Structure 1
């Protein structure tokens, strides 16, 4: 299927990790190239000249940017366990929730942990409101994709793995067993999944990384 390269970071990016998970699910062999985001390589600028950000997947010399788009591309190109549902309606809904997570959840949860004062309180409210929708969506299911990890689970990677670590560092606990029992259960299932354990970055490394910010 041609040469595959992944332009990524140093193990700290949930967006790069989305792509890593998709590639591993499909059993795709690839070359991982670490990018210095402060000193961007000509290869990165060539294949993502608009946003100049990681991740970028290079397949047969052609670059694809934006993690959610890359994951969908991987699902379409390579055989293996499906990432997106086959049913058109379910596929549309998976895209909807992935977009919702990117636009409504990630920024609000990040700001809720890292901002202060009135901005933090406002961000907390926004984050809690958005998370309530995910709480309802995951109810009665092991993963957003059903019995197996799917497109929405990969999109929610930041919430499932990064947010608990950042919350511990900053002492801002947005998702608890009391206020979001369904999400809490999903987060535990996600983090303890044997397949994902091999791909998710070290908790200790992330903890030290965020402590230094």
Structure 2
């Protein structure tokens, strides 16, 4: 699943007429980088959620992508904007799309640039065989998030540490593997027919406290393209 429903407020005015995931980075739409990386790993059934200007994402990619040197990708959509008039936040959007997703699935934000990341089938298989319900890729804290999001134990457990903790030295890259069971305890009905908006952080932190979230560090190039300045740096 490629997350592409956000408004991109901090990117205005660039996002007034174009959804942020379609902004160009090094010659192609930002969200196309993870989509192609998924295809390179053999993940050729991809789902995109949309809200703000979602019709432009559908118009750009259609229902099938055929990039040179990559397998054909079949695209499905979850149009939160059309269905509910707004984005459902990350967890709400994922639950909305669950009926179209496999039992174990990747999620990546369409506004994060991580060109070196490898979506490996072996990683999915290892996670599927584990007792965890989520597996996160974390990056060293960037300048815009020096306080970090989480910690990571020596055994690969993601730790829900209080703000200001010494070990809270990692930031969530947005790239993750989930099992459908992760979302079973969030209080939302399957498929989220009511269109409830729900952030991802609270259920993630609750699952960490129960020892259900594993993780690892991704050391490759990574940028949360959250401001026009970061976009300009990537394209400089």
Structure with greater contact order relative to length (CA < 8 Å, sep ≥ 6): 2
TM-score strictly above 0.5: no
Larger helix share, 1 or 2 = 1
Q: Output the TM-score relative to the length of structure 1.
A: 0.29
TM-score normalised over the length of structure 2: 0.27
Q: Which has the higher strand share?
A: 2
